[in-house]
Structure 1
Amino acid sequence: MPDDPETGRRRVHLVGVAPWRQAVDFYYNPDDDLDLDDLGFTFPARWAAGDLFVIVTTDSPASAVVVVEETHHDSTGPDSYDQYLGPFDDGLSVRAVERRLGTPLPSAPATLDTASSERLIAAISAEEKSPTPWRELDERGCVAHSEPVEPYSRCACCGKWADEEPVLVHHLLVDIQELEFFGYGPIVVCLTCHDLLHRPLAPSSDDLMFGFRPLCPRCSAIRTCQVDRGFPAGPPGPGTLLAGCDRYDPVTFEYRCGSCEYEWTDDDGSYQPLPTDLDDDVVARARTAAIPDNVYRPYSRKGEPGRVVIGRYAPRGPSPHAAAWGDAVYHEFVGQDGRIYLVDPTTLRSAEPHTWETLHPRPDES
């Protein structure tokens, strides 16, 4: 392994990466839709084969270490790297690493001396094994914010009421997008959601809230709104729409997509079952199936089992190019979002809800 010629030990370089959300998708959730042209790295001027790159986010609310990579070539050669440590789930807090070092790190890009390099790698390894609790760092100041929570509150993210999740606390909002979405701050959250919001590379409060909602069956948009009916005592909360109390159909839609405005209910009983021998030009509704071991699907939440999708059913027979499937028929579904899903064939249903009379025909009086 090539070393620093002066000391015989390897060097470490800090490399910045932005935007941090694309970096998370790149390292943790490989997705064919990722536009790598938007992902930028800031490398030092020179490096040698065997050096380590500590990839650090430069634009996230709390700076975090994403991964440590080892380069195979010097700065004049082609790009080629192996992961040396990580990628780290949700990142490692740079502030926590600096706390272990007892000194702040320079801004990326930077090259550390060999003694500092060894200490940094040791600190990253220690932080990976035993992450520093966020309450000891409190980078937002939530612990210091002791304003009491009003009774009859509910978690702004998961929606649980105080009787379901008795401990509710305030979470400070620092991101402009969060403040614009909620229209106020701080927000009330349960302890579980509070911990999620304080991960080094955490979702925004509004993204976490939408993470508890189903994805749109038609376009796979993440931000779907809940539809409430009736006349509530106060205005609907963020991400909630009022639809009044008039009902012209027995189907009550629970969700509306904020992107394509598709409306649906998660209740399969409102959609008529379909046979598996339906024509491949028929638009249908189905639920995604679990993906067999050793079969790669690059879509994280987009392919989670049990999710409702809209598209065309396309069963496939055994294929020599899909050995992991064995001799079984696998049930593909070409979604209207352009993606191919695996579905449970017993969940095939009509794409549009049917009337009560269609689903529950009257018995023949004759």
Structure 2
Amino acid sequence: MAKRSTVPANAAEVPCHVVLAEPWSASAIEADETWWSFPDGVADGDLVITVAHARVPAILQVAELWLDDNEGWGLNTVEPYVPIGIAIAALERRLGTRFSTEPRTLPVGVTADVLAAITSEDATPTPWSSLPHRCLDADDSKLVQNDQFWGCNACGAYAASRYRPRLQAHREPRGNDPQFSGALAVCPSCHDILHQPLGPTFDELMFSYRPSCPRCDAKQTFKLLMGMPPGPPPYGTHSGGCAISAPDIPSYICQACNFEW
């Protein structure tokens, strides 16, 4: 539905609208359940800034709207391009004022400032740690250092490595918490991915590193730990007990159908 083109030369004079796309998630997009809410009075050739309540409220794209006589419409992506989204909090930091995600037409004179802020944020993104978040609490950070044995809870890396990064404490944005208690221990790379505006939830990232269930093909795989662990296993790892008798010890268990392999 979208293609790229250059931003209109008179962008500051073209009406610019904020458009809300919701729901915005991988499953909603795949099922074609995302709706675009436009303000009244949009016209062919207008600029559109699409926003969504994704991982955090974020800008998805800047585009030129086209309309035809058969009630068809589409969005041609224009500069500034937003390949991985821009957090509204980062945009507000640039603008020095609040930026509402409600569908509306921007006041005359504001468009140029908003486009300039988007361009600057795309070129030099504000570190997620400088924006509001629930991570890096001192007590949480102390606790996750005790989980160094298990490595990163998301990708599983660095568990057996002599040289590894210091794990960081991660908490999902409110409303996205998986079924775990406390903070998650993650490596800096996974932590950055988890804080991308259009990035995955913790479960989506963790499951992406694990095989699909060979029985039901679900991507809801937990690791299965047999024997006596040195401590409580982290979220994403299921303790299978201390008795080891089977010749082929399973390594995984599917959370959808409970199949072990």
TM-score by length of 1: 0.59
Q: 1:95 aligns with which of 79, 89, 93?
A: 89
Q: CA deviation at 1:134?
A: 1.5
Maintained 8 Å contact 2:215/2:259: yes
For 1:252 and 1:153, locate their aligned partners in 2 and report how far apart those are by CA, in whole Å.
24
Tell me which residue corresponds to 1:55. Answer: 50
Tell me which residue corresponds to 2:98. Answer: 104
Q: Which amino acid aligns with 2:75?
A: Y
Q: Which amino acid aligns with 1:52?
A: L
For 1:85 and 1:41, locate their aligned partners in 2 and report how far apart those are by CA, in whole Å.
20
For 1:253 and 1:90, locate their aligned partners in 2 and report how far apart those are by CA, in whole Å.
38
Tell me which residue corresponds to 1:46. Answer: 41
Tell me which residue corresponds to 2:16. Answer: 12
- The answer to whether structure 1 residue 67 and structure 2 residue 61 are counterparts is yes
Tell me which residue corresponds to 1:337. Answer: none
Q: CA deviation at 1:89?
A: 3.7
Q: Which runs of 5+ in 1 are unaligned?
A: 27-33, 265-366
- The answer to whether structure 1 residue 171 and structure 2 residue 170 are counterparts is yes
For 1:87 and 1:247, locate their aligned partners in 2 and report how far apart those are by CA, in whole Å.
57
CA offsets 1:89-137 (integer angstroms, 9 cap, x no match): 4311112122222222233201012321122122212222221221222
Q: In structure 2, the residue corresponding to 1:247 is in which secondary structure?
A: coil
For 2:146 and 2:227, locate their aligned partners in 1 and report how far apart those are by CA, in whole Å.
20
The change in CA–CA distance for 1:256 and 1:86 in structure 2 (over 3 A counts) is farther
Q: 1:246 aligns with which of 203, 220, 244?
A: 244
For 1:152 and 1:241, locate their aligned partners in 2 and report how far apart those are by CA, in whole Å.
19
The change in CA–CA distance for 1:246 and 1:86 in structure 2 (over 3 A counts) is farther
User: Alpha carbon RMSD of aligned pairs, Å?
Assistant: 3.1
- The answer to whether structure 1 residue 203 and structure 2 residue 200 are counterparts is yes
Q: In structure 1, the residue corresponding to 2:49 is in which secondary structure?
A: strand
Maintained 8 Å contact 1:224/1:257: yes
- The answer to whether structure 1 residue 212 and structure 2 residue 209 are counterparts is yes
Tell me which residue corresponds to 1:343. Answer: none
What is the identity percentage for the equivalent residue pairs of Structure 1 and Structure 2?
Answer: 33
For 2:14 and 2:81, locate their aligned partners in 1 and report how far apart those are by CA, in whole Å.
20
Bigger Rg over Cα: 1
The change in CA–CA distance for 1:72 and 1:222 in structure 2 (over 3 A counts) is same
Q: In structure 2, the residue corresponding to 1:225 is in which secondary structure?
A: strand
Maintained 8 Å contact 2:207/2:219: yes
Q: Which runs of 5+ in 2 are unaligned?
A: 1-5
- The answer to whether structure 1 residue 181 and structure 2 residue 179 are counterparts is yes
Q: In structure 2, the residue corresponding to 1:120 is in which secondary structure?
A: helix
Tell me which residue corresponds to 2:3. Answer: none
Q: In structure 1, the residue corresponding to 2:99 is in which secondary structure?
A: coil
Higher normalized contact order (CA 8 Å, seq sep 6+, divided by chain length): 2
The change in CA–CA distance for 1:189 and 1:80 in structure 2 (over 3 A counts) is closer
For 2:34 and 2:104, locate their aligned partners in 1 and report how far apart those are by CA, in whole Å.
19
- Where do 1:276-355 residues align within 5 Å? none
The change in CA–CA distance for 1:222 and 1:126 in structure 2 (over 3 A counts) is same
Query: Which contiguous aligned blocks of 4+ residues in structure 1 show a shift greater than 6 angstroms?
Result: none
Q: In structure 2, the residue corresponding to 1:16 is in which secondary structure?
A: strand
For 1:241 and 1:96, locate their aligned partners in 2 and report how far apart those are by CA, in whole Å.
38
Q: CA deviation at 1:66?
A: 1.0
